[in-house]
Amino acid sequence: MNQDIDSKIKELEAELAQAKAERERYRRLLEAAPDAVVVVDGQGHIVLVNAQVAPLFGYSEEELIGQSIEVLVPERARNRHVGHRNHFLVNHEVRPMGSGLDLAARRKDGSEIPVEISLSPLKTAEGVLVSASIRDISDRRAAQLALRKAKTELETRVRERTAELEQANRALQEEMADRQSAEAALHQAQKMEAVGQLTGGVAHDFNNLLTVINGNLQILAGHCRGDGLAQELIDAALQAGQRGADLNRTLLAFSRRQQLKPVLIDLSALAQGIVSMLRRTLGESIALDIRTVDNLPKALADPSQLEVALLNLAVNARDAMPKGGRLLIETSKIHFDEQTAALEGDLKPGAYVVLAVSDNGSGIAVENLSRVFEPFFTTKEVGRGSGLGLAMVYGFAKQSGGHVKIYSVEGKGTTVKLFLPQAQAGGEVILSEPEQTPNRTGHERILVVEDEPDVRALAVRIMRSLGYQVLEAEDGPSALALLRSDSEIQLLFTDVVLPGGMHGPDIARQARELRPDLPVLYTSGYTGNAIDQLEQSNQPVRLISKPYAIDDLAEQIRMALDERNPADGS
């Protein structure tokens, strides 16, 4: 009996030693864990901690054993934590590190640290224990904050750089648009120059042939006196030769090789003096309107060739109005700055006087506008035109040191502007020194309505350079939408003829229904004639003709704004 008891005692001692050894092994494993480990019983009391808990929380093992786990939870979260803990004890499942809870823990000194916690349930004879592995993620959180800060700074720099690049791209596009426009004008000028050289060579050879033909015909006529039939044939041939000589003079005018005798000319007086001849040429179905400027600076040009050029323009206008219409002749002056002159290709900066001829006829198709000054090009019916009238005007303008420009809208009419160099009393051409004009700047908000992108971009850039705030629209509906949404618009600057059926005067009428005091400044390549056609109004109309110089546009804008606010000029 005693032997059995001793044997049983030895077995128990062996089991106890084995249990102590296993417990010591588990203890060493627990102490070797890299994270702080806290084991909690079913009542939420701490029953076991490892060595990593003390440096993390500042508590010794003795201070924590038996304490509620909430001692390690920030005070603001303790009530919620009790509920979470009880829920986990009932619905326990493993929550591994990384997919567990990213929380804050409270240290003994009251400070808080960000931690990541993973939970594992441990089933024992006394019930379920919960093992919580707690990892300090302060370094990770600091790295994340630094990364977010760096990301934010990088995004800010990217946005700023993107904005700079977009601004540079817009400036580049504007420069490219100006360059393309200038290159197109230069290409057209070079093309016309090449055609002119070819035409001049042909005219030169043709003159030689005409000299031989007409000279021999005249000699032959002296030997055929008394022969009625021969004399009749010779006279017919000489008349044809004379027509050929007239044609040749037109070709020479285009090629800029005619003999000019420039003198000082008053364009206003010339336009008034040619009225009677024009009335006979145009007929009764065409109403003639002459609008001239008093004290207009003199032009330096050949008066006879200028009269021929004006007559050619009038005849072209008459042919575009077969059922009758209205012809307007105007004079004015303009100064081209370097930027505006560059857009015209071969035009020199300087002061010019302008002779404009406008009609309200059939107009010219867009695809034909670039060719109208070419010799022998015509859109008239066969037998109704030689195609040399505008070519002669072009050659005369260029040989005189000037320029010619055409504006046309199919079904609305055409304006041709002849620019001749302004001259001093002694005949010296003014081409380099700009006129001194006052500084015309402002801060008001202006709405620009223009369908041609290049022209609109130029106007916007000019106005912004003068200090104005600028909104832009390409047609009537877009302009009216801006006017309804922005009550700060203080001036409407609109082209007269716009696409879509709503023209500048239509926009102005509807705008004044919204804002009766809104000033309007019109612009057009068709001068005053277009306004008369499109707006039947007794109110005075302010108009600046295309192409306009920067100083002229600045002055017109300021005058339009100052008329509305004469007290402070704002």
Q: Is the pLDDT of residue 398 over 50?
A: yes
- With cut-offs at 50, 70 and 90, classify the pLDDT of residue 510: very high
End-to-end CA distance of the chain: 124
What percent of the chain stands above pLDDT 90?
13
Report the distance separating Cα 510 and Cα 186, nearest Å: 40
- The residue to which tokens 């990892």 are assigned: 135
Q: What pLDDT shows up at residue 186?
A: 53
Per-residue confidence (pLDDT) for residue 81, from 0 to 100: 84
Name residue, tokens 């979470």: 84
Comparing 96-100, 215-219, 275-279, 321-325, the range with the smallest average pLDDT is 96-100
Q: What is the pLDDT of residue 430?
A: 46
pLDDT at 520: 93
**Would you state the pLDDT for residue 534?**
52
Q: Is the pLDDT of residue 233 over 80?
A: no
Measured in degrees and rounded to the nearest 5, phi and psi for residue 441 equal: -125, 175
pLDDT at 429: 47
CA distance 222 to 214: 13
- Tell me the one-letter amino acid at 422: Q
Report which of residues 497 and 154 the model is more confident about: 154
pLDDT of residue 382: 45
**Residue 431: pLDDT band with limits 50, 70, 90:** very low
Question: Six-digit token pair at 206?
Answer: 């043709």
Quote the CA–CA distance of 442 and 467 in Å, as a whole number: 5
pLDDT of residue 204: 47
Please state the pTM of the whole predicted model: 0.51
For residue 157, pLDDT beyond 80: yes
Sheet of strand 112-124, all strands in order from the earlier edge strand to the far edge: 46-49, 36-40, 127-136, 112-124, 101-106
Helix H, strand E, coil C: the string for 50-96 is CCCHHHHHCCCHHHHCCCEHHHHCCHHHHHHHHHHHHHHHHCCCCEC
CA distances from 52 to 57, 60, 116, 507 (A): 9, 10, 15, 81
Residue 128: φ, ψ to 5°? -85, 125
Give which of 401, 400, 375 is closest to 386, Cα–Cα.
375
Give pLDDT, residue 448. 95
Q: What are phi and psi of 544, to 5 degrees?
A: -120, 130
Asked if residue 343 has pLDDT above 90, the reply is no
What percent of the chain has pLDDT above 70?
70
Report which of residues 428 and 105 the model is more confident about: 105
Mean pLDDT for the stretch of residues 530-534: 52
Residue 229 has pLDDT above 50, yes or no: yes
- Residue 477: pLDDT band by 50, 70, 90 thresholds? very high
Q: Average the pLDDT over each of 184-193, 408-417, 440-449 and give the range with the smallest value.
A: 184-193
Question: pLDDT higher for 16 or 162?
Answer: 162
C-alpha to C-alpha distance for 219 and 229, rounded to whole angstroms:
16
Name the pLDDT band for 254 (thresholds 50, 70, 90). very low
The pLDDT score that the predictor gives to residue 561 is 92
87 has a pLDDT exceeding 70: yes
User: In whole angstroms, what separates CA 249 from the centre of its chain?
Assistant: 46
More confident residue, 240 or 414: 414
CA dist 515 and 473 (Å) reads 18
The pLDDT, as a whole number, for residue 531 is 53
pLDDT at 548 over 50: yes
CA distance linking residue 89 with residue 80, whole number of Å? 15
Q: What is the pLDDT of residue 124?
A: 77
* Mean pLDDT on 14-37: 65
Nearest to 475 by CA among 453, 451, 492: 451
Measure Cα distances from 226 to 219, 221, 230 in Å.
Answer: 14, 10, 9
Who has greater pLDDT, 76 or 175? Answer: 76
Residue 406 or 375, more confident: 406
Average confidence score pLDDT of the chain: 77
89 has a pLDDT exceeding 90: no
How many Å apart are CA 450 and CA 459, to the nearest integer? 9
Dist CA 66 CA 103 (whole Å): 23
Given a cut of 90, is residue 397 above it in pLDDT? no
Position 257 scores a pLDDT of 45
pLDDT > 60? residue 485: yes
Residue with the larger pLDDT of the pair 27 and 253 = 27
Residue 196: is its pLDDT beyond 60? no
10 or 214, which is more confident = 10
d(CA 11, CA 14): 5
What confidence tier does 454 reach under pLDDT thresholds 50, 70, 90? Answer: confident
> Which residues lie across from 121 on neighbouring strands?
130
DSSP for 407-435, written as a single string: EEETTTEEEEEEEEEBB-TT--B--SPPP
Please answer whether residues 357 and 416 qualify as being in contact, where contact means their C-beta atoms are separated by less than 8 angstroms.
Answer: yes
Please tell me the number of Cα atoms within 13 Å of 289 on its side-chain side. Answer: 15
CA dist list (Å): 338 to 183, 461, 467, 476? 15, 15, 20, 32
Mean pLDDT of 344-364: 85
pLDDT at 270: 85
Q: Report the distance separating Cα 491 and Cα 459, nearest Å.
A: 14
Specify the pLDDT at position 519. 93
Q: How confident is the model at residue 569, as a pLDDT?
A: 38
At residue 256 the predicted structure's pLDDT band, cuts being 50, 70 and 90, is very low
- The values of phi and psi at residue 61, to 5°, are -60, -40
Q: Which has the minimum average pLDDT: 169-183, 330-344, 448-462?
A: 169-183
Contact 346, 188 (CB under 8 A): no
